[in-house]
A and B are shown apart, each in its own frame.
Chain A
Amino acid sequence: MRKLILVTFILVFAFLTTGFSQSLNLRLNSSFYTWKRLDEVPAVGTSATYTTHLTGYQNLAFDLNFGNKWTLGTSVQTDEDVINKNGRGFSYRFYDVYLKGSNLFNALDLKLGRQYVSGGSGRGTIDGLQFKLKLGERKEYQFVGYGGYLTPLAYDFQGYNKKLSENYLAGGQFLYYGIKDLSVGLSYANKNRAMEPYWTTRADSLFNPIDYYVQPESQANQSAEMDLTYRLMKKHNMYGKLYYDFNTKKIYKGEVNAIFALNDKIKLSVGYDYKEPQLSVNTVFWVFNYQKYQEVQSGIDYTTKLFGTDVNIYGRFGGVIYDKTNSLKFQLGLSSSAYGLGITKYTGYAGESEGAFAYFNHELVKSLLTLTSSLNYSRYNLGNYSSDKVEVFGGALGLTWRPISRFSIDAQGQLMSNEIYKTDARFLLGFNYWLFSKFN
């Protein structure tokens, strides 16, 4: 598989570089993050032992464009703790490595290689092929198809030791936009992830321990989905979705949402979800006796101008109705691009909490230096089985310096306080560079 990928890319690359004008869009980011960590809770009367960490992260993304049709794209990441080595060095994770053809024959998008797939009920990263066929006068009929080997969990090119028939994602989606203000989607996905076999210990019929080999079938999900989006009078949006599981032969999720614009400034939103757990067949969790639950949500948003900027003032409520109990969340706040603050309250099964947060961003020196800051606080417990509440606090203060548009440096100090650390100070330094260049 690795050789096949390599040869394919060399051939395609050689072909594309010969006859098209080219442009390169590149982003490069290096970050360094440092902190101290407590490895063990010290016994009473003893001092704590800390280890120091300085992790370097390197991210690279580039799109090499050939004409207006073809793109070779990738995004890669690696990291290593330079003080306390993580033991595996800078291992590279390739999140994308693909060749993309856009609007070929004025009707087809094509993507070959490692890529993320999201088509209704299907979701995941594959090493494979995806296409989108756009037909009709206004391209109102769209067909998406995809299939490929599920990308190794480490995002490298090492883990191709499973059979394709046991480790794949394949599916398709049909989208229709032919009726004004309405969109309809129908999708199907079949996903199988091969599981590792293992030796373990079991009891025989007399309860004597025996070695036991488990060679599980691949975890399987096979589902269909239908969604509808409708915009009423150009301002009210409605959205509905249904999921069907072929393995359990039932609808396991349904949701409806609506947003009503009362006027230019006020929006009301409501939503209802019905859910059963979505579990892969061939996991033991699938065989247990479980219950369904429902969710309701509502909110109001009021948009206005404050200090010359658009500000949104909002209130939200969300509830989960479980069997014999429920969980509620309330939120009030204000948000803008540059600043925001809010309070949050949880009550019920999920836990009890009162929290507040604020953020503020400001250009200290126009086009050159930006201040970023945030604070958050919460007093909480994680359920009614722990009556005492714990306090957490987090604060961050940072600067972004951008001497030229394509280069910037971020520096950020972070301070946290929580149930483990009374004061936990951290520092982040990042260098960011992007480049767009045309070759001919």
Chain B
Amino acid sequence: MSLKKFYIVFLSSAILFVSLTAYVSKNKSLTNIFGKSETVSVSAVSNKDVIKFNHQFHLSKDVGAACKDCHKGALESSKVSDNLNPKMADCSSCHDVKDEKNCKQCHYDGVYKSFTPVKREILFSHKKHVGQKMECTQCHTGIEKVKFSSDAVNGGFPNMENCYTCHDGKKQANDCQACHTNLTNLKPKDHLNSNYLNEHKMIYDAATGNNLSNCMMCHSENFCENCHQPAKYKGENRKGNFYAPYYTKDFATRTDRAGLQKLTAVHDLNYQFTHGMDARQKSFECKTCHDPVDFCASCHQNGGNLQTGMMPKNHSLPNFKTFGVNTGGGLHADLAKRDIESCESCHSVNGADPACVKCHFDNDGIKGTNPKTHESGFMKDTKGSWHNTKGAVCYTCHTDPSARPDGIAGIGFCGYCHGIKK
């Protein structure tokens, strides 16, 4: 199949699918078809103005009511959209709700409204959780100490840290979509900060000494590795696979825990063309995620062509390199002094000469006859590894006959520091 046909088939299928789904959705039979998830919009509601009530009083030993006495449907509820607020009839087991003289004991003047249910975009079954022998207050923390649920922390509803005590990926699942139905709005508020990439290292819980406790609710250990590890596509940007097939950043799918296994990336499309600016501007520390020794070289290797090698444009300028002692080296010398990590990121190729050695070599052991490489007095007072091993980096460039661990004092490489033995 040609690529053109491939696109046509997929685009047609996508359009057909979207149309069909939209039609089905309009007829409200979607949940019946898939029957697994439901979504309702979120709205924070307080029933303080609807009824006079005191959870603390009702749950006290004096009264001895249990949650299920009022929230009668809770034990059997399997959907978060079920309205579990008590109806007036539920109060009748203790209160004479037909006694019109005592309406004001619970109702405000002229206010006889139903409770507005709190709506959530999650999958939740009270029945399933109660079946795990959980107490209501394990999730609805502090409800027994307040009048209205809205007075309790988080409105009497569990926060995610609470869920995480069981949904830790071991006892119970902690993938986002195990509970959340809308994955486009899960990003915490602080993650929106423009500097969050830099800020996230400051976030820790001093009380527990665990700076990862909250992170781990949404992110697995693998998530950190996505950045703090040399890129997982290392070496795969070869000729036949030059472009990484990543989603662009900030897509909803990145908040998806299972999305860790998707092909995701932090960079925009076309980033391979513009990343040079970020590299020099240091907007991001490339090294945090990419190992420069092998990642950059996989595209920028010596001899790369326009399509695969992507040699930086400044390398083609006429004054990029000047040859000859005391010529200053041209533009490349200035650039290298300024940002030698960039040079290393492309030219340090394992198992081959770095490009620098083409000119920066010393074959005769005579000072001043080769391109300048070191600062004056470089390592002069150091007894470095070149005294003991032929593998010392010095011998990559210094190749005169005396350039070896047992070289002759006063001659060639050794003579730079050691005079003639007397």
Contacts and interface: CB of A to CB of B under 8 A. Distances in A.
A337 B225 contact: no
A364 B18 contact: yes
Interface residues of B, number: 148
B336 A382 contact: no
B282 interface: yes
Contacts of A367: 37-39, 121, 181-182
Contacts of B357: 200, 284
A368 B30 contact: yes
B337 A290 contact: yes
A301 interface: yes
B10 interface: yes
- The DSSP consensus for interface residues of chain A is strand
Interface stretch (B58-66, B136-144, B266-274): B266-274
A154 B235 contact: yes
Contacts of A301: 193-195
B209 A177 contact: yes
B360 A411 contact: no
B166 to A, nearest CB: 11
A411 B10 contact: yes
Contact of A288 (B185, B282, B336): B336
Interface string A389-402: 01011111011111
Nearest to B173: A436
Contact of B225 (A95, A322, A393): A95
A37 B307 contact: yes
Interface in B63-111: none
B177 A406 contact: yes
A221 to B, nearest CB: 11
Nearest to B247: A412
B218 interface: no
A396 B269 contact: yes
B390 interface: yes
Contact of B229 (A125, A182, A285, A314): A125
Interface stretch (B45-53, B151-159, B372-380): B372-380
A279 B348 CA distance: 11
Contact of B241 (A86, A217, A357, A383): A86
Contacts of B283: 318, 329
Interface string B196-240: 001101101011111100000000111011001110101110101
Given A229-B202, A287-B393, A361 B184 contact: yes
A430 B263 contact: yes
Interface residues of A, number: 189
B364 A323 contact: no
Contacts of A333: 194
B274 A353 contact: yes
A303 B396 CA distance: 56
A350 interface: yes
A52 B391 CA distance: 45
Contacts of A336: 192
A440 interface: no
A325 B374 contact: no
Interface string B277-321: 111111100010000011000000000001100001110010000
Contacts of A37: 242-243, 307
Contacts of A63: 169-170, 220
Interface of B: 2-3, 6-7, 10-11, 14, 17-18, 21-22, 25, 30, 34, 36-39, 121, 123, 169-173, 175, 177-178, 181-187, 189, 192-195, 198-199, 201-202, 204, 206-211, 220-222, 224-225, 228-230, 232, 234-236, 238, 240-243, 245, 247-253, 255-263, 268-270, 273-274, 276-283, 287, 293-294, 306-307, 312-314, 317, 331, 336-341, 343-344, 347-348, 350-354, 356-357, 360-361, 363-365, 372-375, 378, 385, 389-397, 399-401
A159 to B, nearest CB: 12
A399 B202 CA distance: 35
A139 B187 contact: no
Contacts of B230: 124-125
Contacts of A52: 2-3
A25 B222 CA distance: 13
A75 B222 contact: yes
B199 A310 contact: no
A395 B210 CA distance: 40
Given A366-B182, A367-B181, A408-B256, 10 more contacts: A61-B222, A71-B170, A86-B241, A284-B354, A323-B337, A351-B277, A400-B183, A400-B253, A404-B36, A436-B173
B326 to A, nearest CB: 15
Nearest to B382: A249
20 contacts: A25-B173, A27-B261, A41-B307, A63-B170, A68-B170, A75-B261, A142-B209, A203-B363, A267-B193, A284-B357, A284-B360, A284-B396, A287-B394, A329-B283, A361-B184, A366-B181, A394-B269, A408-B256, A408-B258, A426-B243
A363 B182 contact: yes
A139 B211 CA distance: 12
Nearest to A430: B262
Contact of A57 (B22, B245, B268, B278): B245
Nearest to B314: A385
A404 B182 CA distance: 12
B225 A350 contact: no
A197 B36 CA distance: 59
Contacts of A322: 338-339
A212 B277 contact: no
A338 B252 contact: yes
Given A198-B351, A217-B385, A396-B248, A346 B225 contact: no
B281 A217 contact: no
